[in-house]
Chains A and B, each alone.
Chain A
Amino acid sequence: MATLDLKTISKSFGEAKVLHDIDLAIRDKEFVVFVGPSGCGKSTLLRIIAGLEEATKGQIVIDGMDVSNAHPVERGISMVFQSYALYPHLSVYENIAFPLRVARLEKDDLDRRVRRAAEILQLTDKLMLRPGQLSGGQRQRVAIGRSIVREPKIFLFDEPLSNLDAALRGDMRVELSQLHKNLDATMVYVTHDQVEAMTMADRIVVLNGGRVEQFGSPMELYHHPNNKFVAGFIGQPNMNFVPAKVKAISAKGLTVVLDAGPTMVLPVETEGVAVGDAVEVGIRPEDVAAGDTLDVEIRVLERLGGIAIAYGKLACGTNFCASLDGDTAVAEGTTIKLAVAPADAHVFDAAGRVLRRRAAPALVA
């Protein structure tokens, strides 16, 4: 049972302002991921929630209680660090038990809770080992174990998977999602990896330059990015941005001429743009199919098996990436013809704001 509200949180380190009036309302039992490039302030925001940093301005409200000046442990949070931050001189058991020991829990209760956490995380046979004897994935589980024994209201994760290899990261993603379901707790998770954000989050906060760019469910961000930054950040491979000029505005939408040549009629809201304005058309690589609209000169083809990703250039010189069938016969160095359904295209004005799409797929839960 825990909601987390951030009210106009700002943070400055000396002259440098790293967070600008962040307002967020995180619901009970929600898995929220803060995602953004390095230096966007996501870790600082998490540390402010944890109480390891003090906000220059603003309030942190947990379950309706203002905890802005409370000690971390009084906030009812626990945190998993990127480096795991295990105590190297203590056994796995003592590592997990440490928060309970400092809370002066009774011996039997402590033992029961440590063993239950170990069971959940499959560490029962590792309890007597030192962290140095464990693999990366096991250390990560110990760190999670240490955070769950205290039964906090809110779990904070600071890039917990970034030190693991790719295969293990995939496994841990699933485990963390399951843990979230089992514990039924509110979790805040920081990562720079949009795959982790997309796969695990109930809702994603995209941060950039200390500001919230968008806060919404993964598919909402994917289909309805607020701006060019979110559109470019969410989705793998990244969205293509093709420069274009507005030729006409009609009831059907926007008629644009791509700098690469072709003309497209795109069904988007046309508020705020005028004929002659420069815009950018956003095209996701996976929305591209064989067709006759775009000439793409293929430079590099990456075959991933199921799909092949083609990197090339348009006639106007813009880089363009397309996701093709894995068995495509396209050869590097040739020019191929591709097309995109107008309903799938996104349009951004000169300031990077999106023109809302009229026809977009219904969002899945």
Chain B
Amino acid sequence: MSPALQGLTTIAVGVGGCVAYFYFSNVILDRVIYPPRGPNAGRNINRAGQIRPWLFLLPALVALGLYLAYPVFETLRLSLTERVPVLGQPGKFRYVWVGLDNYRQMTSEAKFWEAMRNNMMWLFVVPAAATAFGLLAAQLTDRIRWGTIAKSLIFMPMAISFVGAAVIFKLVYEMRGADQEQIGVLNAIWLQFDGGFGSVLVLKIIPVIILLAFGGIVSWVGWLVLRPLLAARRARGIWGYVLRPAVAIFAVWMLWLSLQSVVGLWRFELAYGTPQAWISLPFWNNFFLMVVLIWIQTGFAMVILSAAIRGIPEDTIEAAIVDGANPFQIFFQIKVPQIAGTIVVVWTTITITVLKVFDIVFAMTNGQWQTQVLSNYMYEKLFVTADWGVGSASAMVIMILVSPILVWNVINARKEMR
């Protein structure tokens, strides 16, 4: 049978099977198990009504159980066992219980901690940047005539696969010898800098201003989060006493990092005139990789946030204008708070994507030059070195990191839908 015919048959059998399942299970429930007649007709109708939703949910529940719930437990089991080949029988394995040995081994590897650190950087930079750019694009494209075209262009990267995007950006970061013509856009731009005032302005002063602004914003946010505690208002349970100081400490740490970076950047001698191998520049190459995901996710953030911005009642904006608010106050004090729920949903959705990021790193560096991330680490352990124990352990780590964000995301998304 030709593959096309096979495909069609599969579709017919699959769709037909679904329809048949829903139809006949319903018929059996209504006609055979709880027929709406006889002395208990009313009770039967009620019972059939209670069972029906489960009947319809059953295929989905089975599929989710088989492909989501079971693998979780199987991975947990694998992460606690070691796969030992059976002697004399190639391809046969025994699974030996080893407790937390796999986790111990994993945490003793420098590459794992590198992946953790990089993942954390991705986690903070990409969702923040993509959401911020998306919000900016949504707000600006709403107000111009060719906004729709701009929106389509910004949204387009969403249609490109991560690997495809990685290939595109690999070309952007491409390096050729100093005597050759640069085909990478970034190196072509880089060679325009000659160490003069313009270079200092663009490469030192502006980044320092951005870093200082970032430091200022995190300290401000930290202060806002901490302030209710200092004002000794009524206690607010766990959120008040644990999370608020934690966020504040984190803000201080980020401030410290940004100040450190300012000093580092200022003292750093830039190699003007020499083409750079961007994706092998330690530390900074992480950001070059992040750019790819930001480029893709900005479109997503923009589309969702643009719809949210349109949903803001026009009256509240006009009222703010009459009340004397300037455009910035209207944006930050009237519009953003009204779409805060959507911003959180977008942010957490991108965060989940980021925690799972694999393709970009795999295609661009495969974790070399200190760009390893957890998913790629897991892939390498599971499928390259065939270390099922450590691979599964790292998969569990990813799951544990994603779960709370996922729960929060679902809660917020449901709140938005109401």
* Distance between Cα atoms of A85 and B321 in the complex (Å): 12
Cβ < 8 Å to B, chain A residues 44-96: 50-52, 71-73, 77-79, 81-90
Question: Is B285 engaged at the interface, CB distance under 8 Å to the other chain?
Answer: no
A146 with B323: in contact, given A85-B313, A87-B334, A102-B329 (CB under 8 Å)?
yes
* Distance between Cα atoms of A77 and B321 in the complex (Å): 11
- Chain A residue at smallest Cβ distance from B326: A102
Q: Identify which of B318, B322, B329, B338 gathers the most chain A CB atoms within 10 Å of its CB.
A: B322
Q: Identify which of A84, A87, A99, A146 gathers the most chain B CB atoms within 10 Å of its CB.
A: A87
* Shortest Cβ distance from residue B398 to the other chain A in the assembled complex, whole angstroms: 35
Contact string, A168-207, partner B, CB cutoff 8 A, digits 1/0? 0000000000000000000000000000000000000000
- Chain A residue at smallest Cβ distance from B336: A89
- Chain B residue at smallest Cβ distance from A103: B324
- Asked whether, in the complex, the Cβ of B319 is within 8 Å of the Cβ of A85, the reply is yes
Note all chain B residues with C-beta closer than 8 A to A72: 321-322, 324
- Asked whether, in the complex, the Cβ of B337 is within 8 Å of the Cβ of A85, the reply is no
Question: Is A311 engaged at the interface, CB distance under 8 Å to the other chain?
Answer: no
Question: Is A98 engaged at the interface, CB distance under 8 Å to the other chain?
Answer: yes
* Distance between Cα atoms of A325 and B388 in the complex (Å): 95
- Asked whether, in the complex, the Cβ of A87 is within 8 Å of the Cβ of B316, the reply is yes
- Chain B residue at smallest Cβ distance from A75: B322
Count of B residues near A, CB < 8 Å? 18
- Asked whether, in the complex, the Cβ of A52 is within 8 Å of the Cβ of B325, the reply is no
* Distance between Cα atoms of A82 and B319 in the complex (Å): 11
A98 with B323: in contact, given A85-B313, A85-B318 (CB under 8 Å)?
yes
- Asked whether, in the complex, the Cβ of A102 is within 8 Å of the Cβ of B324, the reply is yes
Count of A residues near B, CB < 8 Å? 25
- Chain A residue at smallest Cβ distance from B325: A102
Contact of B322 among A78, A87, A89 (CB under 8 A): A78
Note all chain A residues with C-beta closer than 8 A to B326: 102
* Distance between Cα atoms of A90 and B318 in the complex (Å): 16
Question: Is B269 engaged at the interface, CB distance under 8 Å to the other chain?
Answer: no
Contact of B321 among A52, A84, A87 (CB under 8 A): A52
A81 with B338: in contact, given A73-B323, A73-B324, A99-B323 (CB under 8 Å)?
no
- Asked whether, in the complex, the Cβ of A79 is within 8 Å of the Cβ of B319, the reply is yes
Contact string, B333-349, partner A, CB cutoff 8 A, digits 1/0? 11001101000000000
Note all chain A residues with C-beta closer than 8 A to B308: none
- Asked whether, in the complex, the Cβ of A81 is within 8 Å of the Cβ of B323, the reply is no
- Asked whether, in the complex, the Cβ of B338 is within 8 Å of the Cβ of A89, the reply is yes
A81 with B319: in contact, given A88-B338, A89-B340, A102-B329 (CB under 8 Å)?
yes
Question: Is B320 engaged at the interface, CB distance under 8 Å to the other chain?
Answer: yes
A98 with B318: in contact, given A85-B313, A88-B338, A89-B337 (CB under 8 Å)?
no
- Chain B residue at smallest Cβ distance from A71: B324
The 5 closest A-B pairs by CB, nearest first: A73-B324, A85-B315, A85-B319, A99-B323, A89-B337
* Further contacts, 10 of them, CB under 8 A, given A72-B324, A85-B313, A87-B320: A50-B322, A73-B322, A81-B315, A85-B315, A86-B319, A87-B337, A89-B338, A98-B323, A103-B324, A146-B323
User: Which residues in A have some Cβ–Cβ distance to B below 8 Å?
Assistant: 50-52, 71-73, 77-79, 81-90, 98-99, 102-103, 146, 150
User: Which residues in B have some Cβ–Cβ distance to A below 8 Å?
Assistant: 313, 315-316, 318-326, 329, 333-334, 337-338, 340
5 A-B residue pairs with CB within 8 Å: A71-B324, A73-B324, A77-B322, A87-B316, A98-B320
